[in-house]
Amino acid sequence: MSINKFRNDINGLRAYAVILVVLFHFQIFGFSAGYLGVDIFFVISGYLMTKIIIKELKKQQFSFTDFYLARIVRIFPALLFLILFLTILGWFIFIPEDFKNFAKDARYSLTFLSNDLYYRQAGDYFAADTHDKALLHTWSLSVEWQFYLLFPLLLFIYSKFDKQLKYIGILLGAIFIASLSFSILMTAKDTMYGFFKLTTRMWELIAGGLVYYYFDHKRLTAPLQKLSEGIGFSFILLSLVLYNPNTAWPSYFALLPVAGTIFILIANRQDSIFTQTKIIQNIGSASYSIYLWHWPVFFLLNYFFIKLNFWSLSISLILSFLLGWLSYKYIESSRKPLQKLNKRYIYFLFAFTLLLLYPTYKHIEKNGLVSRAKSNTSSDLDKMQMPSVENGWCFYNIKDNHSLHVSPQGFECSLASKQKNAKSALLFGDSFAGHNSPFWDQIGKKLNLNIQAITTNWCYPSLNKEFTGDKQSTAYQQCLLNREYLSKHIDQYDVLIFAGRWSDIVKQNQQQGFANLLQITDKNNKKVIVMSEPYAFNKNISLLFKRAMWLDRDLSLQSYMNNPKATEQKRATKIINEIVSKHPNTILLTQQDLFKSDQMATNKIPYSLDGRHISIIGSLASAQYFEQQAKYVTLKQFISE
């Protein structure tokens, strides 16, 4: 069989793969495991690449130049066009923060490293915030491109020892087993590593290579072809039924759709009713471009706050397939004239494009071209950020600010009253204490409190060594230093103010450390103020409002109020409140005391920053609201007694 002989079954499989992915991303009922379409694509790619490389190696005619050139011409033009289109569109609609992030994503996507970028950024591929990226789907292209770079080099080196490639099946089998084993191990240990990395995905691509090596020259009888194809489609259908976004992927779970794809490839049916129909063949031909365009369409649907309903989803699906077809027809087709050019010119064009765009996107990354904003919009956007030492507040954000170091410098920030007769207070906790710096600066002046702030990432109020974050981080070392300081100097303060992300503390069953700390404050006869955390959302709330401001759109929080994080928070709040209630020297500031019920700091700006923390303006607005509550009077009396 020649390298270029067209196979209807493979083209049909591409169609099914892209349909599964599109319907999954558009959240269509019944396709919650449609992400496995990517695994089907990987097997197909592995089959075709192995076929091309082995055939040429056997003839001793393999050319790295030709191989990589073919991949560039096939993949790059359509990807480049999409990214340039989104860049131009982004100039008009992206807020600086989004444009900055998009530029970084574009840079990594064009250099086929986006899978590594998204691994480092991801908390969960299936989480809403992670999906808030116009180029998220390019991770799979990066995995394939990395495979294209490494795989021919590996086989070429092997061919120097086995010129006829008699035992290459053993090599492929060994790589398959090693990668699958690593995938199972890493997916259990680090789900996102398993999902995004080539090393944990290579076995799927190698599976296609094994099909070529062991079955390409074998022809099944017609009944066996039908049986093999039927088993293959049954496995894929069964995968759709059994799996969902909570399935640890790929691990050994992906064996089922991969096996299904293998059976269909082995069947090699060119007259199958499942794959030969015209519409399936057309979708298969345009599958790459459809894959490229469908996700930006869905991203923009959400970006413009268009509600997901039958009509919006239907129009978006049609638009995805239409744009994909147009891209296939007019952009992908550019590879034909490109192939006629001198090879050096094509490589030059490729290198020149990257050298031109890389610094361009680097420049956009600096501030998202903030000068595009209207002056009043820019002013409002500036207020929606986390209080930290970078912007004049006290949160010692050592996790993200690499200019900060583990040191007593984290104890040196103070707030509120500078009067000689001011009572001494300590604000202690994690970032949820840190985001209250503006609140206490304002309230502390009214109550004549001189407040020292000791806050750093994940370092909730406790004196033990438990930690809700990564213990390998510098934040943990700073936290141990903070807690040691608290233990030694707890006597010198008139008032202690504790705040933390209680939801995480309770979720990790670490609330006993806080309870023990309150017992120690009782023994030292200290007055303690405990602050509840702000309302929890499962969306980056400030980002949504920034976009609404930029687009001159109104946005309500009501549709975001009921969410799993808020439900989880209610349980944690109950547990923490019970702990606090046992200590008479402690006063609790509840959500109701601190925040308006609509969770809006002003008419247009919410308290919430990222769905968890509050912003500078949110913290200041919380202080203004609190001063009007009965609890403020109670607190005033509590401190003065």
- Could you tell me which of 214, 19, 188, 193 has the C-alpha nearest to residue 121? 193
The pLDDT of 408-434, averaged and rounded, is 96
Q: How confident is the model at residue 3 (pLDDT cuts 50, 70, 90)?
A: very low
pLDDT at 279 over 60: yes
Q: How confident is the model at residue 148 (pLDDT cuts 50, 70, 90)?
A: very high
| Cα 511 from Cα 507, distance rounded (Å) | 9
| Cα 294 from Cα 299, distance rounded (Å) | 9
Q: Which tens digits make up the pLDDT trace of 36-94?
A: 999 999 999 999 999 999 999 999 999 999 999 999 999 999 999 999 999 999 999 99
| Cα 579 from Cα 573, distance rounded (Å) | 10
State the pLDDT at residue 4: 52
| Cα 594 from Cα 602, distance rounded (Å) | 14
State the pLDDT at residue 340: 80
| Cα 626 from Cα 641, distance rounded (Å) | 20
**In 3-state terms, what secondary structure has residue 600?**
strand
φ, ψ for residue 530 (rounded to 5)?
-115, 130
pLDDT at 571 over 50: yes
pLDDT at 127 over 70: no
Q: Residue 596 corresponds to which tokens in the numbers above?
A: 């308006």
| Cα 628 from Cα 625, distance rounded (Å) | 6
State the pLDDT at residue 217: 87
User: Which regions of 120-268 does DSSP assign to beta strands (E)?
Assistant: none
Residue 305: left if φ>0, alpha if ψ -120 to 50, beta else—which one? left
State the pLDDT at residue 149: 96
Q: Which tens digits make up the pLDDT trace of 523-565?
A: 999 999 999 999 999 889 998 998 888 888 888 899 899 999 9
Average pLDDT, the chain: 94
CATH of 382-640, one of 3.40.50.1110, 3.40.50.720, 3.40.50.880, 1.20.1250.20: 3.40.50.1110
State the pLDDT at residue 125: 54
More confident: 394 or 127? 394
Task: Report yes or no: 500 and 466 within 8 Å, Cβ to Cβ.
Answer: no
The verdict on whether omega for the bond into residue 250 sits within 30 degrees of 0, i.e. cis, is yes
State the pLDDT at residue 171: 96
Task: Report yes or no: 533 and 603 within 8 Å, Cβ to Cβ.
Answer: no
Q: Report strand pairing: 413-416 vs 449-455.
A: antiparallel
State the pLDDT at residue 372: 83
- Could you tell me which of 569, 587, 573, 467 has the C-alpha nearest to residue 521? 587
Residues 6+ apart with CB under 8 A from 631: 589, 590, 593
Amino acid found at 388: S
Q: Which tens digits make up the pLDDT trace of 388-418?
A: 999 999 999 999 898 999 999 999 999 999 9
Q: Which tens digits make up the pLDDT trace of 355-388?
A: 999 999 999 999 899 888 766 666 666 778 999 9
pLDDT at 433 over 90: yes
Amino acid found at 582: K
The DSSP element (H or E) to which 495 belongs, if any, is: strand 495-499
Q: Which tens digits make up the pLDDT trace of 91-122?
A: 999 998 899 999 999 999 999 999 999 998 87
pLDDT at 2 over 50: no
Nearest 10 degrees: Cα torsion 26, 32, 34, 38 = 100
User: Which regions of 387-467 does DSSP assign to beta strands (E)?
Assistant: 413-416, 423-429, 449-455
pLDDT at 605 over 70: yes
The pLDDT of 240-244, averaged and rounded, is 96
State the pLDDT at residue 1: 36
| Cα 131 from Cα 437, distance rounded (Å) | 31
pLDDT at 419 over 50: yes
State the pLDDT at residue 553: 85
Domain ranges of the chain: 8-371, 382-640
- What separation in angstroms does the CA of 72 have from each of 76, 147, 354? 5, 13, 12
527-531: strand order across its sheet: 413-416, 449-455, 423-429, 495-499, 527-531, 586-589
- Could you tell me which of 151, 191, 180 has the C-alpha nearest to residue 45? 151
* Beta partners for residue 426, in sequence order: 452, 496
Q: Residue 62 corresponds to which tokens in the numbers above?
A: 């393999």
Q: Which tens digits make up the pLDDT trace of 467-525?
A: 999 899 999 999 999 999 999 999 999 999 999 999 999 999 999 999 999 999 999 99
Nearest 10 degrees: Cα torsion 594, 598, 601, 603 = -150
The pLDDT of 6-27, averaged and rounded, is 96
State the pLDDT at residue 334: 82
Q: Residue 4 corresponds to which tokens in the numbers above?
A: 């270029």
